[in-house]
Structure 1
Amino acid sequence: ALWSGACCEFLSKFSTKAVFDTFCKNEVNVFMAVPTIYFKLINYYNELPESDQQKISEQLKSFRLMVSGSAALPVSVLEQWKEISGHTLLERYGMTEMGMAISNPYHGERKPGHIGQALHGVSIRLADENDTEVAEGMQGEIQIKGANVFKEYWNKPKETANTFTPDGWFKSGDIAVLDYGSYKILGRNSIDIIKSGGYKISALEIEEVLRTHPKIKDCGVVGIPDDEWGELIGASLILASKDLDIEKLKTWLSDKLPGYKTPRKYIIQDDLPRNVMGKVTKNDIKQLFITTK
């Protein structure tokens, strides 16, 4: 931004009010944030008087670009933010080791739930556990080649060797599927892909369904170690309404998910554990299930 002659405005710490106040100063027209921030802004907006909501929405419509990154963007968050701002968030994909590699288009259709296509000069493939490219429509690890990819981890030759294939592809650790020409993230191989009864199940897919329930505000889905199944699916729920009946929820889910994707265990939390970037720390959720067996 500075290189192009733009001005950046920083906040000393995150505050939903401070963000909206900055929006309404009519001095910024590009906003980039992680999904958690959009989620918090939506909740704050919904509690404002209608007159304040109208003022904010009018200001947001004048923005040039709004971007979501760092974690998979829930479709429900994208749709709510579009209703508030008039913007379809531009979702993209990158890592410290490679900068940006995949993005929805600046001009053109942005597909909800998808991170888009490979950027110019970047080669992308999806590969299995043996680093063999999978057929189109099959899920696999995102692997990258290009001038954007880093050379090595400083003074860590073993880690460097483990993160590159013998023929030079960088192994991201993220699982995706190519869906009608656009990549869809299914989650981190070590965190969001649950291996249960021979199936590889995307926790993000289950979370998307749970968030559509009117009494669920947010959720986190994890795999819980199990001797028989390998992993059981557990769901931590943040409720919008305290009178949620878990048995009725299971019945509701039976029409939306196959049995092998339906959570077996549930816990209720006031909020999901997160790191400083706002990402949900799923290992903490998993540990909570393990210690409360």
Structure 2
Amino acid sequence: MSIERPWLDHYPAGVPADIDVNAFRSIAAVLEESFQKFRNRPAFKNFGKVLTYGQIDELSQAFAGFLSGELGLKKGDRLAIMLPNLLQYPIALFGALRLGLTVVNTNPLYTTRELHHQLEDSGAKALLVLDNFAATAQHALDGTKVQHVITTAVGDMVGFPKGNIINFVVKNIRKEVPAFNLPGAVRFRTALERGKAHPMPAVDIGHDDIAFLQYTGGTTGVAKGAMLTHRNMIANMLQADAWISGSATAGEEIIVTALPLYHIFSLTANGLVFTRLGAMNLLITNPRDMKGFVKELSKEKFTAITGVNTLFNGLLNTPGFADLDFSRLHLSLGGGMAVQRSVAERWKKTTGVTLAEAYGLTETSPAACINPLDLKEYNGSIGLPISSTYVQIRAEDGTVLPIGEAGELCIKGPQVMKGYWGQPEETAKVLDAEGWLRTGDIAKMDANGYVYIVDRKKDMILVSGFNVYPNEIEDIVMHHPGVAEVAAVGVDDEHSGEVVKLFVVRRDPSLTVEALKEYCRENLTGYKRPKHIEFRDALPKTNVGKILRRELRDEERKKKQAA
């Protein structure tokens, strides 16, 4: 059965209909090519310190040497990495991938409960963690298979004296490192030193080997590990590379990496695609410090930037951003959440560059649709399906809907995950026998193949590009002795796109909003915490007693419209 691809006629010049996923056997092979080709070029920059491709090659070999020679880790073993954007991240990531390990990217902001679930579920044998989050790790390790811990401080790879000053300030002045006790933990720099004594073993890594367990809520509940193989990641790198090749120059790009590299969008687009291009990744460790972020940007004539809508909006609202030198900027890519028209229009006016929206999921490694980069202005679409990618809009019963009709967006391509780690039932819910992934997003396609997101099928809340699942929030809040019933919904927010609002029926009439917020602060990562809490006598329900979140959401929308 041939599937129509109306979008091919509207591809930018030079973009192929399909990519050759067999061009590389593994991500390691892609990295080796870049290390040789761009050996003396800058690869990563952070806090003013630059590491070249040659240095990253040697350091990642040393890290691989330590993991294999000293810790005995072998192909297929899981290594959890719990770091923000620091020079340590690419060294550890590339070392692990070259060894054939499976990388478990871990959000440093996780609570003990969230981290414990991920370590236990993935079966990780080793953990690399920043000192700032080591106390959380200490309490999360019990009952997991983690045998080895490597710790590091923010400035460890920045060099003397600047790195030492950064570490002193973070620990003693800002007090950002809670006391922790991890007996037997090895320091990152010690690991690199010891690793030099062990040559990196030659490992046969193939397409079907799992490169990442990338945790996501998928379409429901508790976080699941999407199994992203070397084939999935190579495919998405080549797909994105084909899409941007007309506007990107190998060995000359400087890409701003403000989204954390543990997030699939930044990991693939910045960490892998631009490494293949020989670009310099400008790592921003704390993009929330917008003034500091703009100061970093003022030092570089950057050529590309990726981000979520909230990031672009934050930059536009920060004094000094409009005065930066945008003369070399040619690529601005927004993903992770919907790009708002008002933000896109302001971005174009300020920088002179169109903010192109892309769409993807953790389950698609992530890119599935991207707008042409020569787009004259924001068009409200998530773009065209990229090379080797098939898209259909389907009705509830699975029939393919005609152009212009809204239904569930389904995706097929070499970047679609292998499935969820250890969860065949959950995998079967979203992935059919032919390889079609049900996204849970409601979309429509126009005659030219442009895809438009209409709504989300599920009740998922999208806070600054991060998925928040009401089931998880409600589950935690229901553990509070003063709560009888709860519903969590997403409400519009001009900064984050959406934020969490709780509707609560109290068991204890003396329970206050502040007390419940404090409880959530202890049990939920920042972006999952409710910004609004409303107490009610009852919640709307179906005839079988299921709480109607949709009704609550609609109420909120009407209130906002009336206001």
Shorter-normalised TM range? 0.5 to 0.7
Partner in structure 1 of residue 9 of structure 2: none
In 2: Cα distance, 1:222 partner to 1:13 partner? 23
Shift of residue 106, structure 1, vs aligned partner: 2.1
- CA distance 1:219–1:152, shift in 2 (3 Å): closer
Aligned partner (choices 327, 339, 346) of residue 80 of structure 1 = 346
Aligned partner (choices 421, 440, 446) of residue 179 of structure 1 = 446
Aligned partner (choices 308, 312, 316) of residue 34 of structure 1 = 308
- CA distance 1:54–1:151, shift in 2 (3 Å): closer
Is 2:405 the counterpart of 1:132?
no
Shift of residue 165, structure 1, vs aligned partner: 2.9
Q: Residue type of the partner of 1:78?
A: A
Residues 81, 87 of structure 1: 8 Å contact kept: yes
In 1: Cα distance, 2:348 partner to 2:378 partner? 13
Partner in structure 2 of residue 238 of structure 1: none
Shift of residue 35, structure 1, vs aligned partner: 0.7
- CA distance 1:120–1:19, shift in 2 (3 Å): same
Q: Residue type of the partner of 1:94?
A: G
Is 2:431 the counterpart of 1:164?
yes
In 1: Cα distance, 2:498 partner to 2:322 partner? 32
Partner in structure 1 of residue 191 of structure 2: none
Residues 144, 169 of structure 1: 8 Å contact kept: yes
Residues 310, 496 of structure 2: 8 Å contact kept: no
Residues 225-236 of structure 1 aligned to structure 2 (within 5 Å): 226=540, 231=551, 233-235=554-556
In 2: Cα distance, 1:227 partner to 1:131 partner? 28
Q: Residue type of the partner of 1:95?
A: L
Residues 354, 376 of structure 2: 8 Å contact kept: no
Aligned partner (choices 361, 364, 376) of residue 95 of structure 1 = 361
Q: Which has the higher contact order (CA 8 A, sep 6+)?
A: 2
The CA deviation string for residues 220-270 of structure 1, in whole angstroms up to 9 with x for no partner, is: 5999974599725134xxxxxxxxxxxxxxxxxxxxxxxxxxx33349xxx
Partner in structure 2 of residue 10 of structure 1: 283
- CA distance 1:12–1:192, shift in 2 (3 Å): closer
- CA distance 1:148–1:54, shift in 2 (3 Å): closer
In 1: Cα distance, 2:410 partner to 2:428 partner? 14
Residues 330, 353 of structure 2: 8 Å contact kept: no
5+ residue gaps, structure 1, are 194-202, 236-262, 268-293
Shift of residue 168, structure 1, vs aligned partner: 2.9
- CA distance 1:39–1:28, shift in 2 (3 Å): same
In 2: Cα distance, 1:37 partner to 1:30 partner? 14
In 1: Cα distance, 2:499 partner to 2:403 partner? 27
- CA distance 1:179–1:191, shift in 2 (3 Å): farther
Partner in structure 1 of residue 373 of structure 2: 106
Q: Secondary structure at the match of 1:115?
A: coil
The CA deviation string for residues 57-79 of structure 1, in whole angstroms up to 9 with x for no partner, is: xx124312111010111111111
Shift of residue 26, structure 1, vs aligned partner: 2.5
Is 2:388 the counterpart of 1:121?
yes
In 2: Cα distance, 1:6 partner to 1:144 partner? 30
Residues 305, 333 of structure 2: 8 Å contact kept: yes
Q: Residue type of the partner of 2:280?
A: C
Residues 175, 186 of structure 1: 8 Å contact kept: yes
Residues 146-225 of structure 1 aligned to structure 2 (within 5 Å): 146-181=413-448, 182-191=450-459, 220=498
The CA deviation string for residues 173-199 of structure 1, in whole angstroms up to 9 with x for no partner, is: 111111353111123211379xxxxxx
The CA deviation string for residues 263-287 of structure 1, in whole angstroms up to 9 with x for no partner, is: 33349xxxxxxxxxxxxxxxxxxxx
Residues 69, 91 of structure 1: 8 Å contact kept: yes
Shift of residue 119, structure 1, vs aligned partner: 0.6
Residues 70, 93 of structure 1: 8 Å contact kept: yes
- CA distance 1:234–1:61, shift in 2 (3 Å): farther
Partner in structure 1 of residue 331 of structure 2: 65
Shift of residue 29, structure 1, vs aligned partner: 1.3
In 1: Cα distance, 2:313 partner to 2:357 partner? 15
TM-score by length of 1: 0.64
The CA deviation string for residues 132-190 of structure 1, in whole angstroms up to 9 with x for no partner, is: 21121111111111111112212211111111134431111111111353111123211
Residues 409, 439 of structure 2: 8 Å contact kept: yes
5+ residue gaps, structure 2, are 1-273, 462-488, 504-538, 543-547
Q: Secondary structure at the match of 2:360?
A: strand
- CA distance 1:221–1:112, shift in 2 (3 Å): farther
Residues 186, 192 of structure 1: 8 Å contact kept: no
Partner in structure 2 of residue 273 of structure 1: none
- CA distance 1:53–1:222, shift in 2 (3 Å): closer
Is 2:558 the counterpart of 1:264?
yes
- How well do the aligned residues superpose, as a CA RMSD in angstroms? 3.2
In 2: Cα distance, 1:164 partner to 1:13 partner? 36
Name the structure where helix makes up a greater proportion of residues: 2
Q: Secondary structure at the match of 2:314?
A: helix
In 2: Cα distance, 1:130 partner to 1:141 partner? 10
Name the structure where strand makes up a greater proportion of residues: 1
**Structure number with bigger Rg:** 2
In 2: Cα distance, 1:221 partner to 1:133 partner? 34
In 1: Cα distance, 2:353 partner to 2:426 partner? 40
